[in-house]
């Protein structure tokens, strides 16, 4: 049974993330509200991964706030505590680096992340890979989508050993998204 205090703190993280991402959109053709993504990542962690720790779910809701908005680590710590701040920072790319380098570092760093960060990465990649299967971003040729799936598989290879259910969910999701993308590309 989730305590009222915990529900309030979970809802606080949703509201904080919604406010921070309020002007942003996802890359799908409908340009869905960005907040759909962190909410779905938290759902995957809880529902597919069986994760129940409040702070872990709060970090999932907040995982893109430092990377993609003006949110600071200090701000997260004062609102949600040092553990949530540390977990969000662990999954945040260094935006001062070129994109290709950031992508390479995600693969290289994955095995040395904490167990909680590896679970969060798994849920994040499940969500993005599922999104690509549902709706290809405008101006993304098939090759770029396939490259993304391959890169996600390499990051996830370094996240294995922490949550068998999330790993199985990723494997199934990447298989299904690859099938959908290739089938659509083969359509006349």
In the complex, minimum distance from the CB of residue 34 to ligand NDP, in angstroms, rounded to a whole number: 7
Q: Among 1-9, 51-59, 144-152, 168-176, which window interacts with ligand NDP (CB under 6 A)?
A: 144-152
Residue 137 touches ligand NDP, criterion: CB under 6 A: yes
Q: Cα(84)–Cα(75) distance, rounded to whole angstroms?
A: 11
Site size toward ligand NDP, by CB under 6 A: 15
Of 104-133, binders to ligand NDP (CB under 6 A) are 124, 128, 131-132
At which residue do the structure tokens 């340009």 appear? 31
Distance of CA 154 to the CA centre of its chain: 15
**Partner interacting with residue 26 (select from ligand NDP, Zn ion, none; CB below 5-8 Å by kind):** ligand NDP
**Partner interacting with residue 131 (select from Zn ion, ligand NDP, none; CB below 5-8 Å by kind):** ligand NDP
Residue 27 touches ligand NDP, criterion: CB under 6 A: yes
- Closest among 135, 132, 157 to 147, alpha carbons compared: 132
Distance of CA 78 to the CA centre of its chain: 23
Residues 6+ apart with CB under 8 A from 120: 41, 45, 56, 59, 60, 63, 87, 91
Binding-site ranges for Zn ion (CB under 5 A): 64, 124
As annotated, the active-site residues are 67-68
- Closest among 37, 64, 2, 5 to 128, alpha carbons compared: 37
Residue 33 touches ligand NDP, criterion: CB under 6 A: no
**Beta carbons of 17 and 61 less than 8 angstroms apart:** yes
**Partner interacting with residue 143 (select from Zn ion, ligand NDP, none; CB below 5-8 Å by kind):** ligand NDP
- DSSP assigned state of 25: B
Contacts with ligand NDP by CB under 6 A lie at 26-28, 37, 64, 99, 124, 128, 131-132, 137, 143-144, 147-148
């Amino acid at each position: 049974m989730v305590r009222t205090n915990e529900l309030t703190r979970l809802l606080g993280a949703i509201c904080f993330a919604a406010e921070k991402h309020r002007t942003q959109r996802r890359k799908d053709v409908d340009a869905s509200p960005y907040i759909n993504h962190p909410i779905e990542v938290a759902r995957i962690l809880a529902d597919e991964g069986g994760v129940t720790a409040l702070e872990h779910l709060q970090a999932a809701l907040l995982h893109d706030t430092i990377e993609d908005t003006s949110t600071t680590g200090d701000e997260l710590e004062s609102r949600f505590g040092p553990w949530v701040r540390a977990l969000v920072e662990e999954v945040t790319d260094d935006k001062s680096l070129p994109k290709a380098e950031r992508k390479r570092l995600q693969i290289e760093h994955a095995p040395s992340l904490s167990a909680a960060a590896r679970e969060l990465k798994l849920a994040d990649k499940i969500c993005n890979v599922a999104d690509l299967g549902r709706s290809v971003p405008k101006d993304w040729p098939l090759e770029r989508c396939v490259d993304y799936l391959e890169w996600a598989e390499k990051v996830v290879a370094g996240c294995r050993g922490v949550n068998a259910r999330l790993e199985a969910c990723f494997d199934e999701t990447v298989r299904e998204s690859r099938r959908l993308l290739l089938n659509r590309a083969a359509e006349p």
